[in-house]
Amino acid sequence: MKHVIWIFAGVVAIAAIAALILRQATGQPHLRDLSVLTAITLFSAMISMIPVLLMRGKSPVAVFQAAFGGTVLHLLVMLGLGAGARMMHWVDRGMFLFLLLAFYWFSLVFIVTAMIKVFRGFMPASGLVDHPVKQS
């Protein structure tokens, strides 16, 4: 699915931009934190697309609900894996929590955009054409 590639590319681009910003702001790029966070975000994003893929060929309502469920799944997986990484002391607490929140919102934008495109692809053609209202 081509949408997954765009999500992957977007998250990697955000990680590269974050490394540059962190290097300018703190003097260090915090590569370990960014690497763990990028892996968590990519895994969570890919897991969130599974419900939409399972609903191929179903009604638009089912696809919409699967997309909504995917966004909730993204939140829960990211929160759980982020908490696990913090508890294992793989990351710096302060910087990681800030970056986790930022990566969540950016990845959510990429995921929702991909899900909207998938949802529009499942919509049946209605045959209705918008015509201007004729005034008598």
What pLDDT is recorded for position 133? Answer: 61
The confidence band for 136, taking pLDDT boundaries of 50, 70 and 90, is low
The confidence band for 46, taking pLDDT boundaries of 50, 70 and 90, is very high
Q: Phi and psi at residue 32, in whole multiples of 5°?
A: -65, -45
The confidence band for 106, taking pLDDT boundaries of 50, 70 and 90, is very high
Please, what is the average pLDDT of the chain? 87
Side chain identity, residue 25 = A
SS3 of residue 134 by DSSP: coil
Give the distance, in angstroms, between the CA of residue 124 and the centroid of all CA atoms in the same chain: 26
Residue spans per domain, the chain: 2-122
The confidence band for 131, taking pLDDT boundaries of 50, 70 and 90, is low
Q: Does 104 score more than 80 pLDDT?
A: yes
Q: Which residues contact 75 (CB under 8 A, 6 or more apart)?
A: 104, 108
